[in-house]
Amino acid sequence: MSSIKEIGIITKVTSPHADDVMGRLVPWLTERGVKVRMQEDYRGLADVDSTAVSREYVPDGVDLVLVLGGDGTLLSVARLLEGKDKPILGINLGSMGFLTELGLDELFGSLERVLQGEYTVEPRVCLEASLHRDGERIGHYQVLNDVVINKGALARIINLETIVDDQKVTNYQADGLIVSTPTGSTAYCLAAGGPIIEPTMDVIVIAPICPHTLTNRPLVIPGGSRIDLRLISDSGAVFLTLDGQEGTRLNKGDCVRVRASDRKVHLIRTGARNFYEVLSTKLHWGQR
């Protein structure tokens, strides 16, 4: 008998597939005795076994959260779940996705396996970043993918003093710097020339963006490391960005401290495909 009694569904409502998928999915679940909590955008689908609420309340009381969208949607849900230990199953409504690795054609088959208990839960490492200014902590953030410091469009190359566990690494002179989890290694870090890291590994990646010194290459360090990034230069507009979705402007002298978080995001894996199959599919390996 399935231990899944209620599922929360968060959807990228602007997707052209969203309405059709929800129209089929909600009755499919209720027919199988599963209660549904969904965004109020789909209030018209609600009945005695389903509830439409504000997006931030969808995860309350459910056994898992089903995300219909892309990786950006899943990242926003991961932030929404901070403090709530709910597993996430991602279904990709777009063209590219490493977190939402299952396609629409796999939705109902994957859900059938989940309802039968045929799945595993994979914990993913998160990072916590704190912003310090004039000796005071003024910001604290949690990310699943990456912490990025980069310059605005008209800013000059920035100078970032980088220290790992109280040992100076270098002063990166670059367009910016990415500190990435293994999960984030297939996101912005990959586009910046960083390595692909198997997502369950306990490491952190430091990758410069367009470094002025061409010998500055991405660096992989132990997952328990503490990284201090201090903005040395007064280079115009420089920004701290978290998972590509929220951020703040930095001042000269600001320090961003990054380390692994005690929190983990739990992703459901149904065995439909493994990490290397996902890489091969998404990156078109072996094709000409």
**Which amino acid makes up residue 106?**
E
Three-class DSSP category at 240: strand
Dig out the tokens for 166 from the structure. 């109280």
Alpha helices in 93-229 (DSSP H): 107-115, 188-191
Interstrand relation of 219-222 and 203-209 (parallel, antiparallel or unpaired)? antiparallel
Query: Is 71 considered catalytic here?
Result: yes
DSSP 22: H
Residues whose CB is less than 8 angstroms from the CB of residue 181 and which lie 6 or more positions away in sequence, other chains included? 124, 125, 126, 127, 143, 144, 145, 146, 204, 205
Q: Which residue has the tokens 């968060």?
A: 10
Burial group, residue 78, by CB count within 10 angstroms (0-12, 13-18, 19+): buried
**How many other C-beta atoms can be found within 10 angstroms of the C-beta atom of residue 74?**
27
Q: Which of 20, 49, 60, 71 is catalytic?
A: 71
Q: What phi and psi values does residue 162 have, to the nearest 5 degrees? A: -120, 125
Residues 6 or more apart whose Cβ sits within 8 Å of residue 238: 149, 150, 151, 152, 155, 158, 231, 249, 250
Residue whose token pair is 């604290």: 140
| Distance from C-alpha of 252 to C-alpha of 230, rounded to nearest angstrom | 8
Q: Which residue in 205, 197, 188, 190 sits closest to 150, CA to CA?
A: 188
By annotation, the residues acting in catalysis are 71
